[in-house]
Amino acid sequence: MTDNKPPTAEAIQNGETHGGPTSIAQQYDLLPKLIPHLDRHLTFPLLEFLSGLEGDESAEVTKAKYELLKQTNMTDYVASLWQEINDSDEVPEEFVRKREEVLQRLSLFTEETSRIDELLNDESVVSNLRSDKVANLKFLEQQHGVTIQMVDMLYDFGRFQYSCGSYANAAHLLDQFRILSTDNDKASSASWGKLAADILTTNWEIVMEEVNKVKESIDTKLFNNPLAQLDHRTWLIHWTLFPFFNYEPARDTITEMLFSPSFINTIQTNCPWILRYLAAAVITNRSRTRNTGAYQKQLKDLVRVVRQEGYEYNDPVTEFIKALYVDFDFEEAQKKLSEAEEVLKGDFFLSAAADAFVEAARHLISESYCKIHQRIDIKYASNFFGVSRYL
């Protein structure tokens, strides 16, 4: 019976979410691969999803949430997690004290940024701003007494609001900071912060605008630092998983980005497990895309990369691609599709796309089968591939 005990909080934090006998979904859980490339706030939805999976609702998941968020300013929620873990109605003094400190800092930040926030919401002031940040700062300093310290306060307040879980406010403040700041490092950090905040508010249209800004910054400002480009692209790839399957208009854009030379090289070098998501996108795009030529090219590129990286990474999703398009083993493809369905339903990013993936994959199996067989027993094919609706 001990083999079925729930994972410890430490194991969950490290991505080791299951111990003892495992299901296919548990065996191919990507949490340990994803967490190192996500902000702690972006990790939280994955733990929420994990807690909702059958068999994973345990005190250990609650402990993992507590360990994840205890360093943030989300004091009320962290205190409630502590109460749940310790089965107590009392709130320890340390949480009460930290809550007061957070409220005091919030009041101080609000007071110290009120002037510049008021100016940046004044149309008569904003209309005088130009693309030249140095000139803008000089104008604001001469006409309205704005200092570099006041601008930097927007950055600090944005980070503070983000730590409090006030993501919409954080996005607003960090955007204001970017408009004025001439500090490239801080402006880059603010862009990442705003992207995370927009993801957490599920403002997908704005998220895609921010993805493009971050991508452009990686391509241009890190041009002379290939290692930094590799690291930043790796982070961006993981962060784009949130809009990838949650926002329909983003699917094609992100798929094209991931197939571009710089990003496919990043996937092969740093994060081959992303092939699961790329494969899922390409397969489900079968019924969505209107450009057959572009789809066939993506499918061909996917098969090539899956074949190349088979020694480095594989799961039932990529093995389905290999069985169908490399080995032409239809029995194996059918087996892997069944396993892939379970894997997708246990994946935070892909659970909602599992049914669409299976339906599209069955179409592809039947198409490939028909292409290489001169004579087909319709009854056999219908029963074997489970595609009686389509044949």
Q: Which residues, including other chains, have CB under 8 Å from residue 183's CB and lie 6 or more apart?
A: 152
- 147-151, 230-234, 264-268, 378-382, range with the lowest pLDDT: 378-382
Rank 48-52, 155-159, 223-227, 310-314 by mean pLDDT and report only the highest.
155-159
User: What is the DSSP-derived secondary structure letter of residue 8?
Assistant: P
What is the total residue count of the chain? 391
SS (H, E, C) 130-186: CCCHHHHHHHHHHHHCCCHHHHHHHHHHHHHHHHHCCHHHHHHHHHHHHHHCCCHHH
Residue 287 has pLDDT above 70, yes or no: no
Q: What is the DSSP annotation of 36-70?
A: GGS-HHHHHHHHHHHHHSTT--SHHHHHHHHHHHT
Cα–Cα distance measured from residue 310 to residue 265, given in angstroms and rounded to the nearest whole number: 15
Q: Quick count: other Cβ atoms within 10 Å of Cβ 270? A: 16
pLDDT of residue 336: 95
pLDDT of residue 243: 96
pLDDT of residue 1: 35
CA 57 to chain centre: 23
Residue 166 has pLDDT above 70, yes or no: yes
pLDDT in tens, 347-356: 999 999 999 9
Q: Which residue has the higher pLDDT, 370 or 224?
A: 224
- 111-115, 123-127, 158-162, 349-353, range with the lowest pLDDT: 123-127
| Average pLDDT estimate for 197-219 | 96
Residue 281 has pLDDT above 50, yes or no: yes
7-19 as b/e: b if 16+ CB within 10 A: bebebbbebebbe
pLDDT in tens, 290-337: 567 788 889 999 999 999 999 999 999 999 999 999 999 988 999 999
